[in-house]
């Protein structure tokens, strides 16, 4: 048995079984777009820790900032005093917000915690209890966010009763709407969108009256309905924020300004940090002491986040994200459809470097088969949702050459999975 296998077996024995894991690799080092096993084997990483290391693994600017901060102050507890790294980070974030009205921050550690903080703010500010989410949404796995997450039952099965006051509305995911699949010419994506809005209006009349509804939580957008019913709009940009879609925040594609914006993952290039931002009049309704946490806005994480913003500016990450996005989509759309057997279709979608590849007309497990074939080609891919879907989320500073390599690996992995399908 190799040393890597022994390490993996040790981890399997002593790490909680409830953690799902897409590979058995033991990673010892990571740099840029690559990770390295304990034996030194190199893998192309198209996961970025699930959308976290947007500046690539161990970016030197971020590493330097972390080293300097660790030598100066590692922990400045937020309920005791202000600490300068957090104030410096806020100064850097303010001009990047979708609106100057979003000017008051609260920092926590993870995306799930930030979503829970947003719910706390919304319920307290509106004096209403209900939260509306959408079918297929993912907002976390902590006890509060399990009730908000509807993408897979595995995240909450067996843990009830969950947080009350949560209502689920349909999302216009037209590829999987039964009416659209039955008659795609009649039931178009536009029809699906209108029907979903109609169902949301019905929900507000049948299940959660606006006077009881504190917020609608989405990844991102429904401004008009929220304004009409005096409901706060929370946009969860934990994964779509910090350049992932080609703009700093995905809401900017649609001209939407949420009441509360949730951010995490890419904010600090791999260091644990999350945040919510809202208008001061909303945030100031909470009494002092109602928010906080031992590691909220950790000084080292804040320094990493400020350095991340520096990398965005100095290396023009948004420009590179959009250029590489065009390269990815062109290559994927030109090469993958021709590989598929009769009766199998593919939907290649997304914005920026947040790319989904959904296969329809294939047996369950097809996407996992592609990910397995990719691993054989020293490439790490993620699957997502209950459908046969791949998720590509490479670093925003992936190079043109690395993108060509990634395309070749993904296409070869799909081809190999198709061959396996034909042999089955």
CB neighbours of residue 118 within 10 Å: 27
Determine what percent of the chain is predicted with pLDDT higher than 70.
99
Angle at 334 between CA 333 and CA 338, to 5 degrees: 100
Statement to judge: residues 30 and 155 lie in one domain: no
Would you state the structure tokens that stand for residue 356, as one six-digit string?
């989904």
At 226, give phi and psi (nearest 5°): -65, -45
Final residue in a domain of this structure, among 285, 314, 343: 314
Per-residue pLDDT tens over the stretch 94-141: 999 999 999 999 999 999 999 999 999 999 999 999 999 999 999 999
Per-residue pLDDT tens over the stretch 180-232: 777 888 888 888 889 999 999 999 999 999 999 999 998 667 899 999 999 99
Final residue in a domain of this structure, among 314, 337, 361: 314
**Structural domain contains residue 188:** no
Angle at 291 between CA 221 and CA 160, to 5 degrees: 70
Per-residue pLDDT tens over the stretch 301-342: 999 999 999 999 999 999 999 999 999 999 999 999 999 999
Nearest to 398 by CA among 323, 303, 306: 323
Check residue 393 and give left, alpha or beta (phi > 0: left; psi -120 to 50: alpha): beta
At 237, give phi and psi (nearest 5°): -110, 35
Statement to judge: residues 388 and 415 lie in one domain: yes
Nearest to 350 by CA among 56, 4, 46, 67: 46
Statement to judge: residues 114 and 257 lie in one domain: yes
Statement to judge: residues 263 and 399 lie in one domain: no
Q: Give dist(CA 393, CA 357) in Å, integer.
A: 12
Statement to judge: residues 297 and 271 lie in one domain: yes
Statement to judge: residues 30 and 105 lie in one domain: no
Statement to judge: residues 213 and 276 lie in one domain: yes
Statement to judge: residues 232 and 142 lie in one domain: yes
Statement to judge: residues 212 and 160 lie in one domain: yes
**Structural domain contains residue 135:** yes
CATH number at residue 214: 3.40.640.10
Query: 360 forms bridges with which residues in the sheet?
Result: 345
Statement to judge: residues 117 and 223 lie in one domain: yes
Residue 329: give the domain boundaries.
3-58+316-423
**Structural domain contains residue 67:** no
**Structural domain contains residue 63:** no
**Structural domain contains residue 198:** no
What is the number of domains present in the chain? 2
Statement to judge: residues 332 and 381 lie in one domain: yes
Question: Strand 232-237 vs strand 379-380: parallel, antiparallel, or unpaired?
Answer: unpaired
Statement to judge: residues 103 and 217 lie in one domain: yes
Alpha carbon 422 to chain centroid distance? Answer: 34
Nearest to 235 by CA among 139, 353, 171: 139
* Residue 174 pLDDT level (bands cut at 50, 70, 90): confident
Half-sphere exposure of 322 (CA within 13 A, CB side): 7
Final residue in a domain of this structure, among 297, 314, 331: 314
CB neighbours of residue 346 within 10 Å: 21
**Structural domain contains residue 224:** yes
Reply yes or no on whether the pLDDT at 2 is more than 80. Answer: no
């Amino acid at each position: 048995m190799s040393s890597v296998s022994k390490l993996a077996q040790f981890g399997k024995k002593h790490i909680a079984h409830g953690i799902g894991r897409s590979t058995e690799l033991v990673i010892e080092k990571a740099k840029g777009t690559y990770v390295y096993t304990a034996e030194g084997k190199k893998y192309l990483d198209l996961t970025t820790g699930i959308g976290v290391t947007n500046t690539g693994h161990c970016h030197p600017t971020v590493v330097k900032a972390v080293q300097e901060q660790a030598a100066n102050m590692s922990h400045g507890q937020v309920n005791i005093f202000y600490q300068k790294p957090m104030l410096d980070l806020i100064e850097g974030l303010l001009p990047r917000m979708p609106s100057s009205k979003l000017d008051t921050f609260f920092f926590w550690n993870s995306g799930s915690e930030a979503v829970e903080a947003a719910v706390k703010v919304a319920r307290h500010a509106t004096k209403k209890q209900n939260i509306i989410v959408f079918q297929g949404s993912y907002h976390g796995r902590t006890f509060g966010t399990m009730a908000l997450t509807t993408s897979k039952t595995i995240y909450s099965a067996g843990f009830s009763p969950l947080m009350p006051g949560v209502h689920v509305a349909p999302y216009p995911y037209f590829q999987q709407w039964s009416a659209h699949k039955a008659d795609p010419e009649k039931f178009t994506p536009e029809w699906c969108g209108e029907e979903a809005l109609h169902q949301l209006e019905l929900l507000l009349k049948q299940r959660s009256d606006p006077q009881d509804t504190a917020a609608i939580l989405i990844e991102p957008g429904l401004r008009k309905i929220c304004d009409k019913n005096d409901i706060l709009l929370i946009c969860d940009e934990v994964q779509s924020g910090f350049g992932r879609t080609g703009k700093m925040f995905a809401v900017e594609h649609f001209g939407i300004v949420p009441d509360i914006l949730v951010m995490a993952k890419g904010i600090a290039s791999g260091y644990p940090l999350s945040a919510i931002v809202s208008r001061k009049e909303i945030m100031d309704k909470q009494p002092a002491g109602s928010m906080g946490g031992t590691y909220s806005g950790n000084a080292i994480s804040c320094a990493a986040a400020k350095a991340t913003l520096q990398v965005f500016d100095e290396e023009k990450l948004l420009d590179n994200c959009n250029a590489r996005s065009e390269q990815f989509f062109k290559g994927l759309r030109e090469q993958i459809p021709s590989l598929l057997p009769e009766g199998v279709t593919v939907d290649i979608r997304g914005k920026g470097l947040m790319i989904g590849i959904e296969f329809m007309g294939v047996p369950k497990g097809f996407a996992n088969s592609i990910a397995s074939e990719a691993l054989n080609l020293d490439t790490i891919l993620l699957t997502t949702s209950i459908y046969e879907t791949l998720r590509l989320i490479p670093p925003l500073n992936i190079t043109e050459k690395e993108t060509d390599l990634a395309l070749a690996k993904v296409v070869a992995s799909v081809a190999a999975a198709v061959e396996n399908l034909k042999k089955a």
